[in-house]
Structures are given as C-alpha cells and as structure tokens.
Amino acid sequence: MTDAQVDILIRNGIVLTMNPDHTVIPDGAVAIQGDHIAAVGGPATVGTCGARKVIDAGGGIIMPGLVNTHTHASMTLFRGLADDVPLMSWLNDHIFPAEADLDYRKVYCGALLACAEMILSGTTTFCDMYLFEDAVAQAARTAGMRAVVGEVLFDFPSPHYGPLEEGFAYTAALIEAYRGDPLITVAVEPHSPYLCAPELLQRAFELANRHRLPMVVHLAETEKEVQDLRQRYGRTPVEHLETLGVLAPNVLACHCVKLSATDIQRLQRYDVKVSHNPESNMKLASGIAPVPELLAAGVCVGIGTDGAASNNNLDLFLEMDTAAKLHKVHRLDPTVLGAETVLRMATREGARALGLSHRIGSLEAGKQADLILIDTRRPHLTPLYHPVSQLVYAAKGSDVTTAIINGRVVMENGRILTFDVQKAMDDVNAIGDRIAGRR
Ligand SMILES: [Zn+2]
C-alpha cells in the first residue's frame, strides 16, 4: 500500500473491525477509496499509504458506524410531547392526533433533525417506518446517511396517502425512485398484524419478494397484541404470520417482546430478523424481549431506538448500555448479553437484519466506508482496558467525533458538514410551537 494514493486515510487508532474473527488492531489504520474501504491494517502497512486526506484518530477508537434497525425518525417532532401516560392514551390522545396534521415538509424537517442526532451519536444507517417516507429518504440524502425507508401500511386510511391502494402505489413508486441508490433502500412496511388484515400482510410480502427487498413489521410488541390476535385468529402473532406464509429471511420483526418458546423456534426456522428496542419497551411498559433466548436459538437480533416519542433519544450508545444491563438484571445474571455481543448487535448483526451485511456492518476491505471515530481522551473513558466494554458501558453518543458514510466525511471534530444543524433545530422548534399552540 505504501505508494498507493487513497482518498482518505484514518490512522493512529484502535481499529475494532467487527469482522467475523473480531479482529482488533491496536495501532491501526483504515484506507478509503471512493465509497469503499480499500484496506484495514497496522501502522507498517496501511498506516503509511499516501492519501489526499489524513485523519488522525488521536489514539481513539475506529469502528463501523452503528446501525439503528428500527426508528420513526420524524417523531423527533413529538419528543417529550406526552410522556408517562398509558400506551393506548399515548397513541390515541396524543400521537395519532398530532400525526393527522403531518405533511411532507414537517416529516422532512423531523427526519433531518433525527439525522443530525443520529450522526452526532455515531449512527450511520437507520431503518425507518413512517408517513411521507419520501421526505425521510430525502432528509437522509441531504444528511448523507444510509437509510432503509418504507411507507407504513395499515387497514385504515392514512393521513398521507388515504386509502390502502394508494399506499401500495406509493410504495411501488418509492421502489422505482430509489432503485440502485447508493444510500437509500426501500422496504415494504405493513405496520403490524393487529393493524393489518391478512390480505394486506400477504400482499406486502409478495411485493417485497418481487423486488428482493426487506419487509419490516412491528411484531408481538405487547401483551394486548397477543391477546387481540388470539381472539381474532386463535394464534400468537408469530403463528399468525407463519400461517399467512409471510415469515422469511427478508422479514425484520420489530420489538418481539411477547414470544413463546415455539415462537422463538419459528423465528429461527424461517431466519426472520429481529429488532430489539429496549428503551421504548421500558418506557411504554411493554415488557422485556427474550433476547438471550433469541440469540441462543441463533436468531439474528439488531438494536433499534424506536421513535423519539417513546425513548426519547436516538443515541444507540445509550441503547446498547440499556440492552446489556436490562437483560442482566432481568435474569439476575451478569453474564448474559456481554458487551461484545451487544456491540455486534449494533453493527454487523444490525446490518444483517437489514439485508445489508454484504455492504456494511464491519470494517473489511471492499465494504462501503461507513465508520466512526470515538475520542477516548475523556475522563469518563479513562483508563482504557477493554475498548468494547468502554463503548457499551461508559461511552455516550457525544464521544463520537467523526463520521464517514459511503466514503464521505459527514461529521468531523463533532461538526456536521452536510447541512445546517441550527436551521434544522429552528425548523422543528417552529413546528413544535404550532403543535403546542393547538393543545
Ligand atoms: Zn416502532
């Protein structure tokens, strides 16, 4: 590599590759050419190659960008609007009325603010479900973020597209509009088995398969959902989807809090992917997903924040910390969900959950260059015995200083380079003032 000229060279850092062998390079470097990683190695090889731009990691950590496998980015608009209320009141009295008044611009502004928050806290890819989803894709594009986007589909008329038929037409148009896009992947996203009729779920699944795209669905989130489905169909939510023939490796099931032992076996058998959202499940008092059991069964589990109204932040570092600790106290066993496992869930397993593992999730030559730098020269990160433990149990999103997505530096030294963050905050504050004024 010595004589080669690459676009970006990041050196003088501890490289956590998150590759299958969990290789850690203590004094490592990463070379980026165009949109992909050209080489990962030590100071004598990669560290000395010529580059147009050199970034000194200052002895900190160089790692893959985090993957948020489930969010509703634009719900930043409703952050803190209604907290500490029962789930059904939260939805029916606060969130649904506020959402009825959404439009393209509001969704765009909310999503762009979410992109700022996510980039600043080390997330480089997010999987979104919402209304006016083209606005979310455009916000991600403005921010330079990687995203999986999908218009939410359900039985009742949408405040965006109206009748369901239009929702499918909109989804089909999204698929065409972003085909081959370097950053945006479209998914087909029926809300859940309790808000979607069997025919809707099957049609969504067929559409996803026809285009080889993910299908994203909320599944088994609450006890009430399980009871409702049992009453309506005589089956658990997972059994219901199995009966409909819509369980497959390209299905991402979000939450999966209430699962029976046989549900877990079913998810494993069909290689369904799961998004674990511990803070949302805690805040809405939904329960604790059986993540250790899912992992023991061999199910791929990623981590998600869910929307900002039920979290109330999009910081995956905090989410990792919560995930690791929640399962320990729940099992009264400090050995479950170790830091290494949790960090893998937030990186390579998250990428796999979104069907993107061939492109992102680890630092390996040939993969897309999505990576972050963490400054460890801070009191709360000193001393540094185990980088992985430090990241999960001591680090915060604000320790991330630099983010590169698809080979482009989108944040450097804590400053976002792709758009005006102050304006994004001003825009959302103005929308928030109007929402507050109506109440
Ligand atoms: Zn959700």
**Rounded to the nearest whole angstrom, what is the distance from the C-alpha of residue 127 to the centroid of ligand 1?**
10
**Rounded to the nearest whole angstrom, what is the distance from the C-alpha of residue 256 to the centroid of ligand 1?**
11
Please report the sign of the dihedral spanned by the C-alpha atoms of residue 161, residue 162, residue 166, residue 172.
Answer: positive
SS3 content of the chain, % helix, strand, coil (to 5): 40, 25, 35
**Rounded to the nearest whole angstrom, what is the distance from the C-alpha of residue 219 to the centroid of ligand 1?**
10
| Residues 90, 374 contacting (CB under 8 angstroms) | no
Please give the distance of CA 362 from its chain centroid, rounded to a whole number. 15
**Rounded to the nearest whole angstrom, what is the distance from the C-alpha of residue 111 to the centroid of ligand 1?**
15
What b/e string do you get for 237-269 counting C-beta neighbours within 10 Å, with b at 16 or more?
bbbbbbebebbbebbbbbbbbbbeeebbebbee
**Rounded to the nearest whole angstrom, what is the distance from the C-alpha of residue 428 to the centroid of ligand 1?**
21
**Rounded to the nearest whole angstrom, what is the distance from the C-alpha of residue 281 to the centroid of ligand 1?**
10
What is the pLDDT, as a whole number, of residue 439? 60
What is the pLDDT, as a whole number, of residue 436? 87
What is the pLDDT, as a whole number, of residue 90? 86
What is the pLDDT, as a whole number, of residue 143? 98
**Rounded to the nearest whole angstrom, what is the distance from the C-alpha of residue 90 to the centroid of ligand 1?**
14
**Rounded to the nearest whole angstrom, what is the distance from the C-alpha of residue 71 to the centroid of ligand 1?**
6
What is the pLDDT, as a whole number, of residue 56? 97
**Rounded to the nearest whole angstrom, what is the distance from the C-alpha of residue 282 to the centroid of ligand 1?**
13
**Rounded to the nearest whole angstrom, what is the distance from the C-alpha of residue 304 to the centroid of ligand 1?**
9
**Residue-by-residue pLDDT tens, the chain, 439 positions:** 445 699 999 999 999 999 999 999 999 999 999 999 999 999 888 978 899 999 999 999 999 999 999 999 999 999 999 899 887 788 888 888 889 999 999 999 999 999 999 999 999 999 999 999 999 999 999 999 999 999 999 999 999 999 999 999 999 999 999 999 999 999 999 999 999 999 999 999 999 999 999 999 999 999 999 999 999 999 999 999 999 999 999 999 999 999 999 999 999 999 999 999 999 999 999 999 999 999 999 999 999 999 999 999 999 999 999 999 999 999 999 999 999 999 999 999 999 999 999 999 999 999 999 999 999 999 999 999 999 999 999 999 999 999 999 999 999 999 999 999 999 999 999 999 998 887 6
**Rounded to the nearest whole angstrom, what is the distance from the C-alpha of residue 128 to the centroid of ligand 1?**
9
Q: Cis bond leading into 312, ω under 30°? A: yes
**Rounded to the nearest whole angstrom, what is the distance from the C-alpha of residue 289 to the centroid of ligand 1?**
14
What is the pLDDT, as a whole number, of residue 242? 98
| Residues 258, 287 contacting (CB under 8 angstroms) | yes
| Residues 122, 65 contacting (CB under 8 angstroms) | yes
**Rounded to the nearest whole angstrom, what is the distance from the C-alpha of residue 15 to the centroid of ligand 1?**
33
| Residues 428, 76 contacting (CB under 8 angstroms) | yes
